[in-house]
């Protein structure tokens, strides 16, 4: 029998690689078009701006988000937040629990991540609109850290709900 730490690492890496492989296959099915999840993400963002539109970029796996007819951001595969969701799911699988616990926790976690990602995109558009000089900082550094922090909090909650050790302080 494997030590728990080794079992955790193997389960995490195995499930992460399997889900990444499946996701890559999913993306290849639509290349060079935009995949449905990314398009859905872009359309949800569009709902938040009354004066916005989406323009397909021929030959590229992205759509351009326009606000008042002005190009604001390109929305592509990385903008749908699924990569963070895959990392979270791999952790939840590796830190095993009873199947029943997954039925509620996983959908709630994915919903929280998806909503957080839509909020991230909304704020990025507002930053691009009002403070374009700060866009790269927020797009490349601040918001990825925040999105992974949200996932980390959910991992901590999962561990606390499913650990055999109870703090009795």
Rounded Cα–Cα distance for residues 118 and 23 (Å): 20
pLDDT attached to residue 169: 41
User: What are the CA-CA distances from residue 125 to residues 19, 49, 80, 164 (Å)?
Assistant: 30, 10, 15, 44
Residue 169 falls inside a structural domain: no
pLDDT at position 58: 86
Strand partners, 75: 63
Residue 168 lies in a domain: no
Q: Which residues of the chain have a pLDDT value below 70? A: 164-169
Q: Is the residue at 137 inside a domain?
A: yes
**CB atoms closer than 10 angstroms to residue 75:** 24
Residue at 109 is within a domain: yes
Residues forming a β-bridge with 62:
76
What is the model's pLDDT at position 8? Answer: 96
pLDDT in tens, 119-129: 999 999 999 99
Query: Is the bond leading into 11 cis (omega within 30 degrees of zero)?
Result: no
Q: pLDDT value at position 44? A: 96
Range of the domain at 103: 4-162
Q: Considering its fold, how many domains does the chain have in total?
A: 1
Q: Is residue 167 part of a domain?
A: no
pLDDT of amino acid 167: 52
């Amino acid at each position: 029998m494997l030590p728990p730490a080794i079992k955790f690492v193997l389960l995490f890496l195995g499930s992460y690689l399997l889900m990444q492989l499946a996701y890559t296959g999913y993306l290849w099915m639509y290349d060079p078009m935009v995949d449905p999840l990314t398009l859905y993400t872009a359309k949800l963002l569009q709902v938040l701006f009354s004066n916005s539109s989406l323009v397909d970029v021929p030959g590229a796996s992205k759509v351009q988000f326009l606000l008042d007819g002005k190009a604001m951001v390109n929305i592509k595969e990385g903008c749908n937040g699924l990569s963070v969701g895959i990392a979270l799911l791999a952790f939840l699988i590796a830190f095993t629990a009873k199947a029943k616990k997954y039925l509620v926790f996983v959908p709630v976690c994915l919903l929280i991540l998806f909503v957080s990602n839509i909020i991230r995109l909304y704020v990025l558009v507002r930053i691009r609109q009002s403070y374009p000089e700060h866009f790269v900082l927020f797009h490349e550094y601040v918001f990825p850290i925040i999105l992974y922090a949200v996932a980390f909090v959910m991992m901590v909650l999962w561990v606390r709900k499913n650990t055999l050790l109870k703090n009795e302080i």
